[in-house]
């Protein structure tokens, strides 16, 4: 049946001659859009192909092809001698035509949804020349060429093609075997590949651990100052987060003991190698005490060893996981953190039964993983290249640490207190309590130096900035500190 409604086809069917999409498909897609959005109702008669061609300035054959596509997809039906009619459109009264509305995606949902205020993006991105971070490595020092060759080689190997499917949901067996060897050699662990779950990132590892082990209302203990991303994950899971003080030897174990006696908790999160954000190392005595408390009171220790590979003095202390005899420690970390971001992987180390359970969650979140990268990283371990690369990178990062120490002493000694960390990629700086760190941040931004909000720790008890040095060259560090010093003097 012919519709009495005037349809301004030319206003909502716009042809882009530069588009890679054929013109006949552009017409078909825009007519489908109009049908789906209720502007062309069921039974509406379309103009004949010749007339539609005249309306749109197109050859009749182009319109014929468009109508054929619409009929194939079931949006119109052609009746010989009668014409083409809309099929599967709305049966109600058609909407009033709005060409602008047809050309845009909806600006908001038509339904209510939960807003994760606790997951608001803590990162801010300003177009500054220099950006200080919380201790990220420098991709410019990365082994990109070497890893690119490994990726290319692995893609060409016929034997690897079956591995690119969906068969193994727990990561490449070759990579896990080599990663287990690497962790056993460098961390003093005694694990096999069945104790490892490979993930895309450290944060995803923590998320999987928390989702598996924490129920809403469970108490979880963290440092008074702690890693913001982990805190957000815990809050999202509904955990009751309890804080304990942090001093020069790490988490206060006496405070943890008191909690155990009067307020039992489910989990404790710790970054013992270099506490985030203060960079202090958890003392050997406290490690032994904490492991004993965990076994006695039954709380889980999630050990985040995010920067074990970066150490500049004596041999680093081994993870607590290496001394765990009761199966109370879940160990998470990143392999290849010193490499470019696309060549890293997260991992979880735990007893086999827990790994199997966590793999169920990973299996529905990230079924296929990143097999090519895992194969390349596995080869990097197998041929010993990771050890050679880390030795070279560590020398560069030590030079940058020493450079930042010198710059802080030269330009900010009157304002800043700090201890030189034995490892990691950041220095924790303490400032006068009355210093307005937000104002310093704004002043730095005016001179093309960005201090992200998550670096600033200001409260009644704390006034500190975690300053990363890994991602900036010595020249860039000099420029950044000069701008910060000028902002402090002006502020």
Tokens coding 174:
């070759």
State the residue range of the domain holding 413.
130-136+393-490
- Calculate the CA 42 to chain-centre distance: 46
Residues 451, 404 within the same domain: yes
pLDDT at 38: 83
Share of the chain above pLDDT 70, in %: 93
Per-residue pLDDT, 1: 43
For 55-83, letters b (16+ CB in 10 Å) and e give: ebebeeebbebbbebbeeeebbeeeeeeb
Name residues whose C-beta falls within 8 Å of residue 389's C-beta, 6 or more positions apart in sequence. Answer: 143, 146, 338, 380
Residue 117 included in any domain: no
- Does residue 460 lie in a domain region? yes
**C-alpha to C-alpha distance for 269 and 331, rounded to whole angstroms:** 10
**Exposure string for 436-447, b = 16+ CB within 10 A, e = fewer:** ebeebbebbbeb
Structural domain includes residue 150 = yes
Is residue 113 domain-resident?
Answer: no
pLDDT for 355 equals 97
Three-state DSSP class for 333? Answer: strand
Are residues 473 and 367 part of one domain?
Answer: no
Using the 8-state DSSP alphabet, how is residue 394 labeled? H
- Is the domain of 349 the same as that of 424? no
Does residue 425 lie in a domain region?
A: yes
Number of domains in the chain: 3
Q: Are residues 198 and 151 in the same domain?
A: yes
List CB contacts of 429: < 8 A, sequence separation 6 or more.
Answer: 408, 412, 416, 417, 418, 464, 465, 466, 467
pLDDT of residue 2: 45
Residues 136, 306 contacting (CB under 8 angstroms): no
Q: For residue 476, what is the domain's CATH number? A: 3.90.1150.10
Stated as kind and residue range, the H or E segment containing 479 is helix 474-490
Task: Give the model confidence (pLDDT) of 253-311 as tens digits.
Answer: 999 999 999 999 999 999 999 999 999 999 999 999 999 999 999 999 999 999 899 99
Co-location of 377 and 481 in the same domain: no
Say whether both 320 and 256 belong to one domain: yes
Provide the CATH number for the domain around residue 373.
3.40.640.10
What sign does the dihedral 381-387-392-396 (CA atoms) show?
Answer: positive
Give the pLDDT of residue 144. 77
3-state DSSP call for residue 352? helix
Which of 190, 232, 186, 237 lies closest to 210 in space, CA to CA? 237
Q: How confident is the model over 366-376, as pLDDT tens digits?
A: 877 787 788 88
> Do residue 362 and residue 408 come from a single domain?
no
Residues 34 and 59 in one domain: yes
The answer to whether residues 244 and 359 belong to one domain is: yes
CB-based burial label for 458 (10 Å; 0-12, 13-18, 19+): middle
- Exposure string of 122-161, with b = 16+ CB inside 10 Å and e = fewer, is eeeeeebebbbbbbbbbeebbbeebbeebbeebeeeeebe
Q: Which residue has the tokens 């560590």?
A: 394
Written as six digits, the tokens of 312 are 């500049």
Shared-domain flag, residues 405 and 349: no
CATH of the domain at 54: 1.10.10.10
pLDDT along the chain (491 residues), means of 10: 68 91 95 88 92 94 96 93 87 70 79 87 82 93 79 66 52 88 95 95 96 98 96 96 95 97 96 96 95 97 94 88 96 89 89 96 84 86 91 94 98 96 96 94 94 93 96 97 94 68
As to burial, measured by CB atoms within 10 angstroms (0-12 exposed, 13-18 middle, 19+ buried), residue 490 is exposed
Asked if residues 397 and 310 have their Cβ atoms less than 8 Å apart, the reply is yes
Looking at the fold, whether 274 and 252 belong to one and the same domain comes out as yes
Residues 310 and 192 grouped into a single domain: yes
Residues 89 and 41: beta-carbon distance below 8 Å: yes
pLDDT at 195 (0 to 100): 97
CA atoms in the 13 A half-sphere facing the CB of 183: 29
pTM assigned to the model? 0.85
For residue 102, the surrounding DSSP H or E stretch is helix 99-102
Helices and strands (H, E) in the chain, number of each type: 16, 17
How many other C-beta atoms are found inside a 10 Å radius of the C-beta of residue 271?
Answer: 27
What confidence score (pLDDT) does residue 155 get?
66
* Residue showing tokens 């690897």: 160
């Amino acid at each position: 049946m012919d519709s009495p409604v005037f349809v301004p086809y030319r206003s909502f069917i716009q042809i882009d001659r530069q588009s890679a999409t054929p013109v006949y498909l552009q017409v078909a897609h825009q007519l489908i859009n109009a049908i789906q959005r209720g502007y062309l109702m069921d039974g509406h008669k379309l103009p004949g192909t010749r007339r539609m061609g005249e309306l749109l300035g197109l050859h009749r054959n182009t319109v014929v092809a468009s109508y054929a596509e619409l009929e194939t997809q079931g949006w119109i039906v052609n009746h010989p001698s009668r014409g083409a009619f809309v099929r599967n459109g709305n049966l109600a009264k058609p909407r009033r035509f709005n060409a602008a509305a047809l050309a845009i995606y909806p600006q908001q949902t038509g339904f209510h949804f939960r807003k994760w205020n606790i997951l608001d993006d803590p990162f801010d991105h300003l177009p500054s020349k220099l950006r200080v971070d919380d201790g990220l490595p420098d991709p410019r020092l990365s082994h990109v060429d070497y890893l690119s060759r490994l990726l290319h080689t692995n893609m060409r190997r016929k034997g690897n093609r079956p591995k690119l499917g969906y068969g193994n949901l727990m990561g490449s067996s070759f990579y896990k075997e080599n990663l287990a060897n690497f962790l056993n050699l460098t961390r003093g662990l005694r694990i096999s590949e069945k104790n490892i779950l490979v993930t895309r990132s450290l944060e995803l590892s923590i998320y999987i651990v928390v989702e598996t082990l924490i129920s809403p209302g469970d108490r979880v203990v963290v440092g008074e100052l702690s890693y913001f991303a982990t805190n957000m994950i815990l809050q999202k899971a509904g955990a009751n987060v309890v804080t304990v003080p942090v001093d020069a030897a790490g988490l206060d174990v006496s405070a943890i003991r008191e909690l155990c006696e009067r307020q039992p908790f489910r989990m404790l999160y710790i970054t013992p190698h270099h506490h985030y954000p203060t960079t202090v190392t958890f003392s050997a005595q406290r490690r032994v005490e904490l492991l004993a408390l965990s076994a006695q009171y039954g709380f889980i220790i999630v050990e985040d060893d995010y920067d074990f590979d970066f150490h500049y003095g004596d041999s680093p202390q081994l993870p607590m996981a290496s001394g765990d005899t009761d199966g109370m420690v879940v160990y998470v970390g990143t392999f290849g953190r010193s490499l470019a971001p696309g060549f890293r992987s997260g991992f979880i180390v735990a007893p086999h039964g827990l790994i199997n359970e966590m793999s169920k969650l990973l299996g529905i979140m990230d079924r296929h993983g990143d097999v090519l990268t895992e194969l390349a990283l596995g080869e990097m371990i197998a041929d010993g290249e990771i050890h050679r690369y880390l030795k070279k990178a560590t020398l560069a990062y030590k030079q940058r640490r020493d450079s930042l120490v010198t710059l802080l002493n030269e330009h900010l000694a009157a304002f800043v207190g700090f201890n030189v960390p034995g490892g990691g990629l950041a220095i924790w700086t303490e400032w006068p309590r009355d210093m307005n760190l937000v104002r310093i941040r704004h002043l730095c931004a005016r001179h093309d130096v960005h201090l992200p909000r998550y670096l600033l720790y200001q409260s009644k008890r704390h006034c500190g900035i975690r300053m990363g040095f890994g991602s900036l060259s010595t020249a860039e560090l000099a420029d950044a500190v000069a701008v910060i010093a000028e902002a402090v003097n002006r502020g």
